[in-house]
Structure 1
């Protein structure tokens, strides 16, 4: 008939105790892992923020300027614990170059900070063994140092 409304009964699936406990176990395990990693993440963020905000670029440039043989390895080592966001790389690099930091050192700092950060290493440590973390850091450090010296030789 015209104008009659037909109602259908909607059947909702119930969550079974088995499915509920599975998802709850997953959630609890995830939360437990997060709570274990959180202090280290916060520490890494704090250290990176402290270095980024409170160490004057003049001090860094004094030790990482032109003609210093150790400037590139030191910049690569300093870069690894930092977390420099992509948005901050260009302004930071420009400021460091204006303060007298050598371009090869800036390159090593950028590659070191982009390749690894303290928080990233802490997270990876919860997944991989120490030998894998050491190999990862060695590769990042080698690439940063190599690129810094190569840039200096080619363009410096």
Structure 2
């Protein structure tokens, strides 16, 4: 439109028909910018809570952002699901003597299975010596724990 040349709209705005009177022209901010048409500032999409509640938003420029799931969550930033370490390699708990217990997103701990005790990280639990704690054998017999819970 030739009449737009006289308006000299600044950067990040364009000449458009007036919203109040379509016979008049005015400068309006481009989409992804806000202002009065003479001063147009980029809109930060991160201020509009566009990422998942368990994600961080990073502003990269007008209408540009990145969503990254928080620690303990996995996904694309639009959807973030809690990570259960127990679902991957038993949460690094030795499977023979321990069980993995989920504590929350990205967190777990190991507990000794029945007939095991004294958890050592990376090693596991030792077999409970039934003969020491609750000897089920006759008083004149030798007691030996041969397997967890068995004498």
**Larger helix proportion, structure 1 or 2?**
1
Q: Which has the higher contact order (CA 8 A, sep 6+)?
A: 1
In which range does the TM-score fall when normalised by the shorter chain? under 0.3
**Larger strand proportion, structure 1 or 2?**
2
> Over alpha carbons, which structure has the higher Rg?
2
TM-score (ref. length: structure 2): 0.21
